[in-house]
Structure formats: structure tokens, C-alpha cells
Amino acid sequence: ETGVTQTPRHLVMGMTNKKSLKCEQHLGHNAMYWYKQSAKKPLELMFVYNFKEQTENNSVPSRFSPECPNSSHLFLHLHTLQPEDSALYLCASSQPGRTSTDTQYFGPGTRLTVL
Amino acid sequence: DAKTTQPTSMDCAEGRAANLPCNHSTISGNEYVYWYRQIHSQGPQYIIHGLKNNETNEMASLIITEDRKSSTLILPHATLRDTAVYYCIVRGRTALIFGKGTTLSVSS
């Protein structure tokens, strides 16, 4: 248990569906992240939020729409996805500092399958 | 961000020490070395990090060479539950950049 929870743990959706992934952290952190891990590939950063503001978008297609209503919650809204978007979606949080030492803690991930 | 090089896979007998090497020859002075591991289909788990000095916690020890161009993660008494992919990451900008890591297989 890392203090970062994700729901749902598994999701199957059609290409025309709209769904949302939820992440919640109980660590008092102010930075939250979305990562994508496709089969047999390294984790890829998608989005970064610092103090509720998006500070990084790693060229993610607009069919993925993040939302960060407060420092404890992060959502990833999904619409008109493609089968190649099937992957493990991971959320992480950290407490930003002045140096490069803010450790990220990851949630268990949501396994997404797009049919 | 500095890149890292790790062996693709390693084997270790249960109860023995597992020594996982990592090369990071282009590391800069203010970059830290982080280690994470990922057990199949779970989220990555933070293990340890360091800058210059050797570090130890309840999970592992991190040995960084004096020139900082390489490091070794040591699991002192490997168990079957330590079977995972281990990632060595040199921390630069905001986010972690994961490579392919080392797949450690611990067997009885």
C-alpha cells in the first residue's frame, strides 16, 4: 500500500465509449502524474500536474483528457479510444522540492482494454 | 536526463545476495540515482535513491562509485517475492524516465 489508489483496476470499453480513470493520493503531495505502459514497453509519461496546474503534456492525443480538481485527485477522461490504447495506466504522486529528490509513489494501475 | 544501461536479465538463488549493476556515465553533478522495481502488472515500487554516498534502507543497499558513473543495487537476501523488473533511473527533470530495466528471477 503506497497511499495512491486507482479505480477501476480493470476496464473494458468500446471505441465509442466514454469512461474515466480515477486516482487519489493520501500522502499530502502536490504533484500528480499519469503514465502509460503498453505491453512489453517502458513506462511513458503522459501528464504532470503541480499544485493542480498542468505543467507537462507529453504530446498525448486529445482523446485523453486529464483533470486535476485538487492536489489529492487526478482523473483521466477517455473518449473514442483505439485498440492500441489498451495498456496499463499508472498514476503517481510526489512532493515537489527545490532539488531533484521528490520521490514518486505509484498506484496499482488500471488495466484498460479497448475493443 | 542522463541515460542508464542495465543488463537485460539476471538470476539469483533464494537466500543469496542479488547485485544489480547500472551504468550512468553521463550523469551530471546534481542528478540522483533512483531504483524502482515492478512486479508483474503492478505499479512500480520505490526502492532507494542516492546522490554520492552509499545508502541503505530496509529493502536494499545502493553503492555508488566515487566517479558516480555506475552504481549497484544490493538485495542482501533475495526471496522469491523479489522477482521483478528493476529500473535504474537518473533523475533530472520533473518526471522519471523509465528504460527497460533488469528482469531479476529468484529461484529456490
Residue-by-residue pLDDT tens, chain A, 115 positions: 779 999 999 999 998 889 999 999 999 999 999 999 999 888 999 999 999 999 989 899 999 999 999 999 999 999 999 999 999 999 999 988 765 467 899 999 999 999 9
Chain A residue at shortest CA distance from B48? A103
Residue in B42, B97, B99 closest to A109 by CB: B42
Strand, helix or coil for residue B80: helix
Contact across the interface for B95 and A111, Cβ inside 8 Å: no
Across the range B75-82, mean pLDDT stands at 97
> What's the pLDDT at B94?
56
How high is the pLDDT of residue A38? 94
Mean pLDDT (chain B) is 92
Contact A99 B46 (CB under 8 A): no
A16's CB contacts (< 8 A; 6+ apart) are A80
Q: What are phi and psi of B81, to 5 degrees?
A: -75, -10
Mean of pLDDT values over B19-44: 92
Round to whole Å and give the CA distance between A1 and B90. Answer: 25
- pLDDT class of B41 with cuts at 50, 70, 90: confident
Q: Which residues in chain B have their CB less than 8 angstroms from residue A50's CB?
A: 94
Cα separation of A92 and A32, whole Å? 6
pLDDT (average), residues B51-67:
95
CA atoms within 13 A on the CB side of A6: 28
